[in-house]
Amino acid sequence: MREGIIVVLVLAGLWLVMPPRSKDTGDVAVAPAPEPAGDASSPQGVLAPQEEWMVIAGVTGQEAVATGAAADAAAASEAYSRGITALESERFSEAASSLEAARNAGDRRALVPLAVALWKAERLRDAVNAIRNAAVEQPENPDVWLVMGEVMEAVGDLQAAVDAWEHLRTLRPDSRLDERIRRARADLKVRDRWRSQVSRNFSVFFEGPVASQVAHTTLDALEDARRDVGGVLHYYPGRPIEAVLYTRESFFDVTRSPAWSGGVFDGRVRLPVSGATDPGELRRVATHEYVHAALHSMAGDTIPTWLHEGMAMNLEADEPSYAWARSLLMDSETVPLSLEKLGWPFLALDEEQANVAYAQSFVLVNSLLTRFGHYKLRDLVNGLATGDQPLADVYPRIYRETLERSMERAMADLRTREESGWRRS
């Protein structure tokens, strides 16, 4: 990895769709989300399962260290190696410190990785300066422009992000950029019509046709979710989270989500709303998407979808409903999905499969919460967050049983339990 490919930064396409249940039947539907400027973890557009792509940030070793005394070169190289190791382990502040030292000592390999570390450490102003300096020194390096787009999107300059990605396409064509650019351009077109309401921890953007009262309710719901979910996870994101409220037509135009979706988290919360949106349902959906945002802030892209969705459904209300999942999964015609499929994003599933996937995720996490409490789930998330070990190794260390065994137990519980055995509060 250090021979020419200096940093591999995984920018996962995290599109987590939430399943609103119909008021009449309790059946599952589902949901996507919106976007102004903001979160550094933005995805690539509507993504199929497994659709992740990697940013190769860095230059070849032959270009690396500026001339100077051998001792200075050795010190720069050592600082660079420390920075890369810290970056790979997601210790972003430590990585930034070491890579700054390497850059200041003349190691040109550090330019792009430094911008990445600063961005991930949420030092956005410094990240902008670092990536602009990299663009001056390495204008032909495609990775400069890829990271430039990410950083400029994170600080809210969508036009600069689009310009960077467009330039990247001239250096390294990649069809995966097309959807990213399309969505950013769509948001630019409506940005003049956006209004906003802001609290200490959230910014809610909404189009002119969306009522201000709906935006206010969403803002209150997100603040309540931060308090309630934070009490369970013992975690509160360190930077503000953005939510965008669309009219239903604009939502599907921008996100290109399945017709059954009702909200999305893809680095920011995106919700289709109308003036007639039920306040209770809006609060539930906003809480569901906040759980995704909090988990992503805690553990990046290391969490399987079943855990994301299972936690979101169990934490979206004080007393989660159990009957809908029990009814669906006890139906003799229902075909359960494999744990492998449950680990991938649900957007590629048809509506029937998606309903089953959400139900399985819900009952598995509900069983874990009932049997072991929320502390072990938090330990599981933290164990995955390091990225050092796969789920197959982390899970049995936390729960003293295999994931397969836990799913078997959860499904067996369906036959004996009528309601959820766990409450959020």
Of 191, 216, 237, the one marking the end of a domain is: 191
Separation between Cα atoms, residue 2 and residue 5, nearest integer Å: 6
**Domain count across the chain:** 2
Task: Indicate if 250 and 340 belong to the same structural domain.
Answer: yes
Task: Indicate if 201 and 132 belong to the same structural domain.
Answer: no
Q: Give residue 36's identity as a one-letter amino acid code.
A: P
Q: Check if the beta carbon of residue 153 is closer than 8 Å to that of residue 185.
A: no
Task: Indicate if 135 and 238 belong to the same structural domain.
Answer: no
In this predicted structure, what is the pLDDT of residue 261?
81
Of 169, 191, 213, the one marking the end of a domain is: 191
CATH code for the domain in which residue 376 is found:
1.10.390
Of 158, 191, 224, the one marking the end of a domain is: 191
In this predicted structure, what is the pLDDT of residue 419?
65
In this predicted structure, what is the pLDDT of residue 158?
87
Query: Hunting for tokens 């069809």 — which residue is that?
Result: 175
Task: Indicate if 208 and 115 belong to the same structural domain.
Answer: no
Task: Indicate if 233 and 378 belong to the same structural domain.
Answer: yes
301, part of any domain: yes
Task: Indicate if 401 and 382 belong to the same structural domain.
Answer: yes
39, part of any domain: yes
Which residue range is the domain that position 57 belongs to?
Answer: 52-191
Task: Indicate if 81 and 186 belong to the same structural domain.
Answer: yes
121, part of any domain: yes
Q: What b-and-e string marks burial along 297-312, b requiring 16 or more CB atoms within 10 Å of the CB?
A: bbbbebbbbbbbbbbb
What tens-digit pLDDT sequence spans the chain (425 residues)? 332 322 334 343 334 555 544 333 333 333 333 333 333 333 333 323 223 323 334 433 444 444 445 557 888 889 999 999 988 877 888 999 999 999 999 898 999 999 999 988 888 899 999 999 999 999 999 999 999 999 998 887 889 999 999 999 999 988 878 888 888 887 787 666 788 899 999 999 887 667 788 899 999 999 999 999 999 999 999 888 989 898 888 888 778 787 778 888 887 898 988 765 788 888 999 999 999 999 998 988 889 999 999 999 999 987 777 888 988 999 989 999 999 999 998 888 888 999 999 999 999 999 999 999 999 999 999 999 887 789 999 999 999 999 999 999 999 988 887 666 666 65
Long-range interactions of 188-197: CB distance < 8 A, separation 24+: 188/158, 188/159, 188/162, 190/250, 191/36, 191/158, 194/36, 194/244, 196/36
Task: Indicate if 289 and 242 belong to the same structural domain.
Answer: yes
Task: Indicate if 75 and 17 belong to the same structural domain.
Answer: no
SS3 206: strand
pTM: 0.72
420, part of any domain: no
Q: Look up residue 354 and give its two tokens.
A: 């998606």
Q: Check if the beta carbon of residue 210 is closer than 8 Å to that of residue 273.
A: yes
In this predicted structure, what is the pLDDT of residue 1?
33
> Given 3-state DSSP classes, what are the helix, strand and coil percentages for the chain, each rounded to the nearest 5?
55, 10, 35
1, part of any domain: no
Task: Indicate if 278 and 130 belong to the same structural domain.
Answer: no
From the number of C-beta atoms within 10 Å of its C-beta (0-12, 13-18, 19+), residue 69 rates as exposed
421, part of any domain: no
Listed in sequence order, the residues at least 6 apart from 359 whose beta carbon sits closer than 8 Å to its beta carbon are 28, 324, 325, 328, 329
In this predicted structure, what is the pLDDT of residue 413?
87
Task: Indicate if 161 and 249 belong to the same structural domain.
Answer: no
Q: Give residue 132's identity as a one-letter amino acid code.
A: R
In this predicted structure, what is the pLDDT of residue 15?
45
Residue 244 dihedral angles phi and psi, to the nearest 5°:
-125, 130
Separation between Cα atoms, residue 351 and residue 372, nearest integer Å: 31
CATH code for the domain in which residue 65 is found:
1.25.40.10
Q: Check if the beta carbon of residue 47 is closer than 8 Å to that of residue 346.
A: no
Separation between Cα atoms, residue 234 and residue 343, nearest integer Å: 24
In this predicted structure, what is the pLDDT of residue 397?
96
423, part of any domain: no
388, part of any domain: yes
Task: Indicate if 274 and 405 belong to the same structural domain.
Answer: yes
